[in-house]
Amino acid sequence: MSQYSLKPVIHTISNPAGMKVTVMDWGATILSIKVPVPGEKEPREVLLGVKDPEKWSTQSCYFNATIGRYANRVAHSSFDVNGKHYVLSSNDKHCLHGGIDGFDKRRFTFIDVGENSLTMQLHSPDGDMGFPGNYDLTVTYTLNDDNSLSVHYLGKCDAQCPSCITNHAYFNLNGYNSSILNHTVEIKSDKILVLDEDSIPTGEIRDIKGSAFDFNTAKKVGLDFMNDSQMIASRGYDHPYLIDGDLSTPFAKVTSDDGKLTLSVATDYPATQFYTGNYIHAGDPIIARDDGKPYPNQSGLCLEPEYYPDAPHMPQYAAKNPLVGPDAPLDHTICYKFTAN
């Protein structure tokens, strides 16, 4: 039996504009974001998802879930902190998204439910998935009147520990099962982290101006798709872009194929993983909730604000990727704003 079949607790928040966001306790997962578009009878569903929340585990792509303790990868499922070696849960030979039983598979507790905001908490004990310290995470979703969804993470740990919390939202602004290769994307970044064949950063920072990775000028996702050797191992875009980390200024914009809906994303994290859903159809088919057909690869895209992947093994970037500890909580925000054009 799927863990999600144990009667997930689900709440929906809304705003006066008619936007609705639905969240469940398993994984503090965003089940649905519906955005009104002028001239359309029903609000657009902009997230991928399965029809029945109790069958959410039929997908293994982390659909719209909260990721932790460490989003993205930790090489060789281990790290050293304060002279002590820690061995983590391994998804293969590396630790991906917090291990085989990461926060995406945990049952959070709703502690506050309002008309336009939800607050949830999770306790992760010392040694959980190999990570040190007792870790308490609070996640708050706030839906504002301007059709922006703010997601705030506050993580506290009684020992020093690498931690990175994000949401693995898969967006398709068309509102139906379709490719995102014709979405228009703009990312304000001049640099990416170079990855090895296992998608682990090598430590090298690459200038991407004028390359297939350059989205400083908005372009179709598919325009330069697979037009770079860095994309071969990952089957497309799946790379950490280095950004300014300024909540007041969006680092990315995404526009639907028909040009009627734009998503802007802002954060105070120093990086974002741009992922084009290259493995959505790699395992068992994931049946789309809108048409009952399998989601193909590249049917959703992710912009996952984060610390640098594998930061515990890149001390040269420690200033941008601080440890969480008794006097240093993780305190970050992601803002998704939707604008009808």
Hey, what domains does the chain have and what are their CATH numbers?
3-179+274-340 (2.70.98.10)
Q: What is the pLDDT of residues 65-79, one digit of tens each?
A: 999 999 999 999 999
- Given the residues 45, 54, 304, 306, the one annotated as active site: 304
246 in Cβ contact with 268 (< 8 Å): yes
CA–CA dist 43, 170 (Å, integer): 17
128-to-88, 90, 170, 243 alpha-carbon distances in Å: 9, 12, 27, 31
What is the phi/psi pair of residue 148, to 5°? -110, 140
Strand-pairing partners, residue 304, are 273
Give me the pLDDT at residue 310, please. Answer: 98
Largest CA distance in the chain: 61
Secondary structure of the chain: what % helix, strand, coil (to 5)?
A: 10, 40, 50
CA 174 to chain centre: 19
What pLDDT sits at residue 1? 38
Return the SS3 of 173.
coil
Residue 282 pLDDT class (50, 70, 90 cuts): confident
Contact present, 70 and 133 (Cβ < 8 Å) = no
Backbone angles phi, psi at 270, to 5 degrees: -90, 0
Cα 245 to its chain centre, rounded Å, is 15
Give the pLDDT score at 154. Answer: 98
pLDDT for res 5? 59
| Nearest-angstrom CA–CA distance, 204 and 200 | 11
Confidence grade of residue 3 (pLDDT, cut at 50, 70, 90)? low
Q: How confident is the model at residue 283 (pLDDT cuts 50, 70, 90)?
A: confident
pLDDT in tens, 41-53: 999 999 999 999 9
Please tell me the distance from the alpha carbon of residue 98 to that of residue 71, in angstroms, as a whole number.
6
Tokens of 11: 């709440």
Q: Catalytic residue at 40? A: no
Is pLDDT larger for residue 224 or for residue 282? 224
User: What percent of the chain shows pLDDT beyond 70?
Assistant: 99
Say if residue 2's pLDDT is above 80: no
pLDDT of residue 58: 81
Q: Which tens digits make up the pLDDT trace of 294-319? A: 999 999 999 999 999 999 999 999 99
Q: Which residues pair with 80 in a beta bridge?
A: 85
DSSP state of 285: P
Task: Give the model's pLDDT for residue 234.
Answer: 93
pTM attached to this predicted model: 0.97
* Residue whose entry in the numeric block shows the structure tokens 């902009």: 46
Q: Which two tokens stand for residue 198?
A: 């296992």
* 54 catalytically annotated: no
> Per residue in 218-241, is it b (16+ CB within 10 Å) or e — as a string?
eeebbebbeeeebbeebbbbbbbb
Q: Residue 314 is which amino acid?
A: M
Band of the pLDDT at 4, cuts 50, 70, 90?
A: low
Over its C-alpha atoms, the chain yields an Rg (Å, rounded) of 19
Q: What pLDDT is attached to residue 97?
A: 97
Question: Which 8-state DSSP code applies to residue 323?
Answer: P
Averaged pLDDT for residues 182-190: 98
What pLDDT, on a 0 to 100 scale, did the predictor assign at position 233? 87
Averaged pLDDT, 262-291: 96
Q: Which of 45, 54, 94, 168 is catalytic?
A: 168
pLDDT above 60 (res 193): yes
Residues in the chain: 341
pLDDT at 56 over 70: yes
Under 8 Å between Cβ of 116 and 13: yes
Over residues 3-11, the mean pLDDT reads 81
- Residue 176: CB atoms within 10 A of its CB come to 11
Instruction: Give the DSSP H or E segment for 262.
Output: strand 261-267
47 class by beta-carbon count within 10 Å (0-12 exposed, 13-18 middle, 19+ buried): buried
Q: Which residue has the higher pLDDT, 39 or 5?
A: 39
Average pLDDT along the chain = 96
Instruction: Give 122's contacts (C-beta < 8 A, 6+ positions apart).
Output: 28, 103, 106, 107, 108, 109, 136, 137, 139
